[in-house]
Amino acid sequence: MKKIVAFAALSLALAACTAPKPNEVPVTTAPVTQKGFYMFVMNGLGKTIDRVNLKTREVTLGVLKTGEVPNQLFTVGESTYLVNAQDATIDVLDLKGGSKKDTMVLRVGSWPQWLAFGADGKGVVAHYNAFGSKELAWMDFGAKTLEATASAAELAWTSTGCVIANGKVYAPAKVAEWGQPSTSSGCYVFDYATHALLKTISLEATDDPTEISLSPNGKVELGVNTGVVVIDPATDAVVKRLDFKTPVTTMRYASATKAYATTEKGLVSYNPTTYEILRDKDHAIASVASMFGSFRIFNNAAYIPNMASNSIQVIDLLTETASGSDIPVGSGPQDVAFVTVDE
């Protein structure tokens, strides 16, 4: 009986210690928020966008529709921009909410291909004109208005891009007629504010640049016939050439010290700070990435659309090997974008 009384007294004492005091607000523990990661796949042939849960790999087909001949996805902040080439439109998407917020209509026949965004809510669209060559158009994305079109030069037929750096716009120059050998190569430099052509940076005659990108360290990089050419936008000088001994196109950055690029041999890699080649063509990572295929990097993995098999290949960039089986998606996957949500 004494033990029972003692235990009861101890319980009452503990309850008194833990009970809220007058005017004291009880402390509650917030629930742990987990992150959900989703990939959205743009299908060029199916003209749809699919959603993929990257944790479970569950695929929801056709959550959104695209326009005719969708080309690229670009994510800026909470919005994703979908470029529809044949429709000459740019759709503004809310991928988290699964809806289309707005549509910008460009000039009929302009066939937009690529977007570059400035810090002022404006940017540049690289597109074909009605005569088949390529040009640049300055857009105010907020006001949905066209400000100017570059008329001083034609862009490279094979190039898909342009970048903005140091108050200037860089775009590969047209060097030859379609199907003809290159006789010269270059990179146009435009003033971002005035739209004026400032200069043409000369490259080697056979470089024939196919894509352009901006590295995490602010350098302009061009994929060329033998590797990567690096331009410093502070001086507009070619400061480095990476010789992969094979054509390089799409360049993507895992970090400030690790970049990957597509070649006919697979994914090669290099350090975009020191410009040391890490993997050459003889040690390329086996992948389905084609010479003109796009891919994206997210959370230490490369996601590579495979139009031939209607799937997305996943490469674990920590081990640099394939991660599981390919993810089946809709018809003709071309590009992907990623969204992180609280669950």
Q: Is residue 145 part of a domain?
A: yes
Q: Is residue 4 part of a domain?
A: no
Q: With helix as H, strand as E and coil as C, how does 56-122 read?
A: CCCEEEEEEECCCCEEEEEEECCEEEEEECCCCEEEEEECCCCEEEEEEECCCCCCEEEEEECCCCE
How big is the chain, counted in residues? 343
Report the pLDDT value the prediction gives residue 131, as an integer from 0 to 100. Answer: 54
Sheet containing 89-94: which strands, arranged edge to edge?
70-76, 79-84, 89-94, 99-105
Number of domains in the chain: 1
Of 134 and 283, more confident: 283
Q: Is residue 12 part of a domain?
A: no
Question: Rounded to a whole number, what is the largest CA-CA distance in the chain?
Answer: 104
- Residues spanned by the domain of 309: 33-342
Q: Is residue 190 part of a domain?
A: yes
CA distance linking residue 65 with residue 294, whole number of Å: 20
Mean pLDDT for all residues in the chain: 85
Q: Is residue 11 part of a domain?
A: no
For residues 39 and 30, the answer to whether their CB atoms sit within 8 Å is no
- Reported as a pLDDT band with limits 50, 70 and 90, residue 136 is confident
- What mean pLDDT comes out for the span 309-314? 95
CA distance linking residue 219 with residue 298, whole number of Å: 21
Residue 32 has pLDDT above 70, yes or no: no
Dihedral of alpha carbons 321, 301, 299, 63, sign: negative
Residue 1 has pLDDT above 70, yes or no: no
Q: Is residue 2 part of a domain?
A: no
- Please measure the distance between the N-terminal and C-terminal CA atoms of the chain and give it in whole angstroms: 52
Of 13 and 44, more confident: 44
pLDDT in tens, 287-304: 876 555 579 999 999 999
For residues 253 and 272, the answer to whether their CB atoms sit within 8 Å is yes
pLDDT in tens, 192-220: 999 999 999 999 988 888 889 999 999 99
Q: Is residue 294 part of a domain?
A: yes
Residue 273 has pLDDT above 80, yes or no: yes
CA distance linking residue 59 with residue 74, whole number of Å: 21
- What mean pLDDT comes out for the span 99-123? 88
Pairing of strands 220-224, 211-214: antiparallel
Residue 37 has pLDDT above 80, yes or no: yes
> 16 vs 3, 6, 148, 242, CA distance in Å?
20, 15, 75, 73
pLDDT in tens, 218-237: 999 999 999 999 999 999 99
pLDDT in tens, 3-25: 444 444 545 444 455 555 555 54
Report the pLDDT value the prediction gives residue 62, as an integer from 0 to 100. Answer: 96
Looking at the chain, the whole-number percentage of residues with pLDDT higher than 90 is: 61
Query: Looking at residue 165, which CATH number applies to its domain?
Result: 2.130.10.10
- Reported as a pLDDT band with limits 50, 70 and 90, residue 151 is low
pTM attached to this predicted model: 0.85
Q: Is residue 320 part of a domain?
A: yes
